[in-house]
């Protein structure tokens, strides 16, 4: 008898199929190899802290610039224009005018009433 028996042929085909499947399983997909994330070491942590501080420093510098170069000068210009340049009547009151009985109040148009007469018998 020459050649393989039916059991041997079946066993050989199964082994061949398993070997092909094993070789196919060894091929990597585009998502592989997957690497587990490692915990950052001291150098990595110091770098991350530096970057966080750098962002904080940049934010601080931007806010200082905004306050000193934009907000404060804008407030000064607004104040000067409002109280020293504006020609609006009654916008700036340097000295209130004195009002006497019989005078007319400019804002309301009312007349200041006369002072009440003092009682002559109430004083010593």
Residue pLDDT, tens place only, 7-39: 999 999 999 999 999 999 998 888 887 888 888
Distance CA 5, CA 28 (A): 37
For residues 122 and 116, the answer to whether their CB atoms sit within 8 Å is no
pLDDT digits (tens, 9 = 90+) for 78-124: 988 887 877 766 555 667 778 888 898 888 889 988 888 776 665 55
Q: What's the pLDDT score for residue 124?
A: 56
- Per DSSP, 104 falls in state B
Pair 119, 107: CB distance under 8 Å: no
Q: Kindly state the average pLDDT of the residues 57-61.
A: 93
Least confident residue range of 41-55, 58-72, 84-98? 84-98
Residue 2 banded pLDDT, cuts 50, 70, 90 = confident
Angstrom CA distances, 59 to 49, 52, 56, 64, stand at 15, 11, 5, 9
For the question of whether the overall pTM of this predicted structure is more than 0.75, the answer is: no
What is the structure's pLDDT at 88? 65
Check: CB of residue 111 under 8 Å from CB of residue 103: yes
């Amino acid at each position: 008898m020459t050649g393989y028996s039916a059991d041997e042929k079946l066993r050989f085909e199964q082994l061949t199929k398993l070997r092909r499947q094993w070789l196919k399983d060894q091929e990597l997909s585009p998502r592989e190899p997957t690497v587990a994330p490692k915990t950052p070491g001291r150098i990595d942590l110091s770098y991350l802290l530096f970057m966080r501080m750098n962002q904080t420093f940049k934010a601080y510098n931007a806010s200082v610039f905004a306050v000193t170069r934009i907000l404060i000068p804008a407030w000064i210009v607004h104040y000067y224009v409002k109280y020293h340049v504006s020609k609006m009547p009654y916008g700036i009151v340097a000295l209130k005018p004195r009002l006497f009985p019989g005078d007319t109040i400019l804002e309301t148009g009312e007349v200041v009433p006369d002072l009440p007469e003092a009682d002559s018998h109430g004083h010593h």
